[in-house]
Amino acid sequence: MTFDIDMIKAVYEKYPERVAAARKILNKPLTLTEKILYTHLSEGAAKEVFERGKSYVDFAPDRIAMQDATAQMALLQFMQAGKPQTAVPTTVHCDHLIQAKDGAEKDLQESINKSSEVFNFLDSVSSKYGIGFWKPGAGIIHQVVLENYAFPGGMMIGTDSHTVNAGGLGMVAIGVGGADAVDVMAGMPWELKFPKLIGVKLTGKLSGWTAPKDIILKVAGILTVKGGTGAIIEYFGEGAKNLSCTGKGTICNMGAEVGATTSNFGYDESMERYLRATGRADVADLANGIGEHLTGDAEVYENPEKYFDQVIKIDLNTLAPHINGPFTPDLATAVHDMKEVAGKSDWPTKIEWGLIGSCTNSSYEDISRASSIAEDALAKGLRPKAEFGINPGSEQVRYTIERDGYINTFERLGAKIFTNACGPCIGQWARAGADKQEKNSIIHSFNRNFSKRADGNPNTHAFVTSPEMVAAIAIAGDLTFNPITDTLINDKGEAVKLAEPTGFELPPKGFDVKDPGYKAPANDSSEVEVVVNPDSNRLQLLEPFKPWDGKNITGMKLLIKAFGKCTTDHISMAGPWLRYRGHLDNISNNTLTGAMNAFNQETDKVKNQLTGEYGTVPDVQRAYKAVNTPGIVVGDHNYGEGSSREHAAMQPRHLGVKMVLVKSFARIHETNLKKQGLLGLTFANEEDYDKIRENDTIETVDLDQFAEGKPIHIRFKHDDGTEDVIKTNHTYNDGQIAWYKAGSALNLIKEIHAN
């Protein structure tokens, strides 16, 4: 199942009735966000009012998209569900595992050679389960989704934080962890805390050097990296209508940088134009039929303060181009202030590289506008002072910009054209000399600029701006260059000024592509064999976790009493371990290595009670597992906060940990533990945390009567012969207790499917 006009038709057919039900129950005019959310309730038409920022609500998304790094474990898990096909249309995109070094052709081949086992697995598993597969080089997930799958009023989830990009086509599109994607693929609902709503009213029109990117750079400066947390940002007003659809995508894309759940725009003519230009006139026709439901009610946009939790107003007529950074995307500086700010801040002002592209800014409009600057510079006898790199967002864009001469323009500037993939945006950039860790500055049109993100060098100051401004500043080689007022000296020694950027919202001759890089799933999946080499150290088929025997757990050894902050990054570190995301046993060698041991205040050093010696957390737990001794992890407050990665629950389970007992859980991690068949408990009395000693042997007292709302008691036997019995609480409901009994949620789905 990939692009599915029947699915969109079915979604739109429900709209009038479901929007009416929501309007009746809420008894007020509706925002676009509310229309989309209330139309996608898994229970059907709205029956109750959900409280923003409080209620947990089950939704039924229309689509799923996954990128190659996160899709591995998600699909390995989905294979456990015993389903013949995914329950909703799903696509996989190979874009993260491709390095940028010498240029597209060579880099792509080398990356394929290096990661062929992962790509072959994703290809075969996609083919088997009805999933559309976008090959390495086909493009970056979010650009490909915008071009092919996003549709106004739809809801999608994706295993990547910039899934939110599809808000540019009027979707509620949200980045999730693999476990959530697996649930929806397996036909289960998807839970989200009902978001708060931030309204951004745009008036006026962009002109000259100002681009859609400047809107989100400005918003990031206002909201900061945390200001959007738990909220959906809805853009509206005349200024919104004046933006291209891909420009809207850029703005929504970087909503992730302010922590927003997602962002969106109401359906308008720019979206219709984009749908028609990308071969989806049928979707545009359908959307036109229910247009009034695909945008917020007029009254909401006229009096936004009444209907949104927070309102921001931006006048595009007076908005200045911005450059954000370094090291954080919310440090916003207007271009005309950069000389002063950079001087005060001691940022290196010589620009070494200008990078254009990524999922944020690689549309036809972006490239044509940036290229107009390059063309103007060449015509005026300017040579770039910095190096240039371009990573197009999709093969369709790359093919079209090549046909229209833009690639040639950049090549005349000496630019390297990288593969249509994430490349430098995700640190997949073999930048010459980065290992020397010299202080330097680069400027790019990407979204994130945290330390080390692009080239691994903590001293690289990365600045984020629009593609046209990247072009101008890289040509000048100077962070403080303001193309609106400043001149550059050309090859004849003359002072010249760059002309304002010009470009095309959409290709005047239409999009074109020879091979978009898409592979449809097999018609007959029984003929497809999922390819996993048993000797692989990057991929490993999963074994179902064992069901619970219904008895109390005895003889548990304390693996670690974690002290203080213990995020999913402490439980399953990222960085070099990303390589093993598809191999549960190998990645388990990082389990809890970042957690601090409360007894010695050290990380990755815990007592092996069998030998009395200290070892790493994974080694000690493997030693326990070897003699069938279950482990228990004890934690502090908000245990498992951070990224929703399911590995943080799967790894302890794989290594034989049976229980995680903490003062409090981060909610998503608690749910992930439940899904993986682990017992997640909280202290009824927080002080009991202090009663747990390093040499304890632990057993449950009344787990055999596991029931909803019933506390569980745990006995801690100390090595001096004394013991403490403590009371713990849990939040398992009957359905989740059924997961626990079956060994995991997926085991239960499989059982139900088999019967």
Residue (142 or 416) nearer to ligand F3S, CB? 142
Which is catalytic among the residues 431, 645, 647, 653?
645
Which is catalytic among the residues 40, 93, 280, 448?
448
Three-class secondary structure of residue 542 per DSSP? coil
Beta-carbon contacts of residue 64 (< 8 Å; ≥ 6 apart)? 86, 88, 89, 90, 91, 156, 157, 158, 159, 181, 184, 185
Residue (88 or 97) nearer to ligand F3S, CB? 97
What amino acid is encoded at 379 in this protein?
A: A
Dihedral sign for Cα 608, 612, 615, 619, please: negative
Residue (425 or 632) nearer to ligand F3S, CB? 425
Residue (150 or 532) nearer to ligand F3S, CB? 150
CB of 505 to ligand F3S, least distance (A): 22
Residue (257 or 670) nearer to ligand F3S, CB? 257
In the block, tokens 């209907």 appear at 307
Three-class secondary structure of residue 68 per DSSP? helix
CB of 142 to ligand F3S, least distance (A): 6
Dihedral sign for Cα 264, 266, 271, 272, please: positive
Provide the 10 A C-beta neighbour count for residue 529: 9
Terminus-to-terminus CA distance in the chain, angstroms?
A: 25
Residue (420 or 616) nearer to ligand F3S, CB? 420
Longest CA span, the chain: 90
Which is catalytic among the residues 18, 63, 93, 96?
96
- CA proximity to 470, closest of 590, 684, 324: 324
CB of 619 to ligand F3S, least distance (A): 33
In the block, tokens 């490239």 appear at 367
Long-range own/partner contacts, residues 19-22 (CB < 8 A, 24 or more apart): 19/293, 21/45, 21/46, 21/47, 22/46
CA separation for the pair 474, 31 (Å, rounded):
41
CB of 684 to ligand F3S, least distance (A): 43
Spell 121-139 as b/e; 16+ CB within 10 A means b: bbbbbbbbbbbbbbbbbbb
CB of 220 to ligand F3S, least distance (A): 14
CB of 116 to ligand F3S, least distance (A): 20
Active site (annotated) includes residue 95: yes
CB of 160 to ligand F3S, least distance (A): 6
Residue (447 or 540) nearer to ligand F3S, CB? 447
Tokens in use for 198? 């931030």
Residue (161 or 597) nearer to ligand F3S, CB? 161
CB of 635 to ligand F3S, least distance (A): 31
CB of 618 to ligand F3S, least distance (A): 28
Beta-carbon contacts of residue 752 (< 8 Å; ≥ 6 apart)? none
Strands 723-729 and 602-603: unpaired
Residue (83 or 142) nearer to ligand F3S, CB? 142
Burial of 605 (0-12, 13-18, 19+ CB in 10 A): middle
Asked if residue 473 lies in contact with residue 479, where contact means CB atoms within 8 angstroms, the answer is yes
Q: Name the strand (E) or helix (H) holding 67.
A: strand 63-67
CB of 186 to ligand F3S, least distance (A): 25
Asked if residue 597 lies in contact with residue 633, where contact means CB atoms within 8 angstroms, the answer is no
Strand ranges of the sheet holding 518-519, from the earlier edge strand across to the other edge: 172-175, 155-158, 63-67, 90-93, 132-134, 518-519
Enumerate binding residues for ligand F3S (CB under 6 A): 95-96, 140-142, 160, 162, 358-359, 422, 425-426, 446-447
- CA proximity to 75, closest of 582, 634, 749: 582
Which is catalytic among the residues 160, 297, 404, 696?
160
Give the C-alpha distances (Å, rounded to integers) separating 679 from 188, 242, 544.
Answer: 21, 53, 17
Active site (annotated) includes residue 337: no
CB of 447 to ligand F3S, least distance (A): 5
Beta-carbon contacts of residue 715 (< 8 Å; ≥ 6 apart)? 698, 699, 700, 701, 723, 724, 725
Residue (239 or 325) nearer to ligand F3S, CB? 325
Active site (annotated) includes residue 515: no
Residue (388 or 446) nearer to ligand F3S, CB? 446
Active site (annotated) includes residue 412: no
Asked if residue 418 lies in contact with residue 424, where contact means CB atoms within 8 angstroms, the answer is yes
Q: Where are the beta strands (DSSP E) in 537-622?
A: 556-561, 596-597, 602-603, 606-607, 614-615
CB of 428 to ligand F3S, least distance (A): 8
CA separation for the pair 356, 468 (Å, rounded):
9
Which is catalytic among the residues 62, 68, 95, 688?
95
Beta-carbon contacts of residue 335 (< 8 Å; ≥ 6 apart)? 209, 320, 321, 322, 323, 465, 469, 482, 483, 484
Which is catalytic among the residues 42, 451, 643, 664?
643
Q: Where are the alpha helices (DSSP H) in 129-177?
A: 141-148
Residues annotated as part of the active site: 95-96, 160, 448, 643, 645
